[in-house]
């Protein structure tokens, strides 16, 4: 399984992730990106058909704020495995 979430401490609201992966990422009132699947907790595996979009978003983020893991994040972007 593949999990993702955004590190909102480093996101600079550049907007690239929502463009490459509109089904995965949206922006909150402050313009910070979050994982749509579970309000950025990173505990819900993504649909496999969105894997390519996720890779594009990871590659396109200038601050490496899009995290990806084979285990649930439990809301902490440091839980990257
Ligand atoms: Fe933020 Fe990176 Fe997206 S800076 S808006 S997480 S592309």
With a cut of 90, say whether residue 38 has pLDDT above it.
yes
Span from the CA of 70 to the centroid of ligand 1 (angstroms): 21
- Give the closest residue to 36 by CA, choosing from 51, 21, 52: 21
**74 Cβ contact list (under 8 Å, min separation 6):** 41, 42, 43
Span from the CA of 67 to the centroid of ligand 1 (angstroms): 11
Q: What is the pLDDT of residues 3-36, one digit of tens each?
A: 999 999 999 999 999 999 999 999 999 999 999 9
How would you classify residue 15: left for phi > 0, otherwise alpha for psi between -120 and 50, otherwise beta?
A: left
The neighbour count for residue 74, using CB atoms within 10 Å, is 11
In this prediction, residues 38-64 reach a mean pLDDT of 98
With a cut of 90, say whether residue 81 has pLDDT above it.
no
Whether the predicted model's global pTM rises above the 0.95 cut: yes
With a cut of 90, say whether residue 52 has pLDDT above it.
yes
């Amino acid at each position: 399984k593949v999990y993702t979430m955004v590190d909102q401490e480093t996101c600079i609201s550049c907007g690239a992730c929502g463009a490459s992966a509109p089904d995965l990422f949206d922006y909150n009132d402050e313009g910070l990106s979050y994982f749509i699947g579970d309000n950025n907790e990173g505990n819900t595996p993504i649909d496999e058909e969105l894997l390519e979009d996720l890779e594009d978003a990871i590659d396109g983020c200038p601050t490496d704020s899009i995290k990806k893991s084979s285990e649930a994040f439990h809301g902490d972007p440091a839980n990257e495995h």
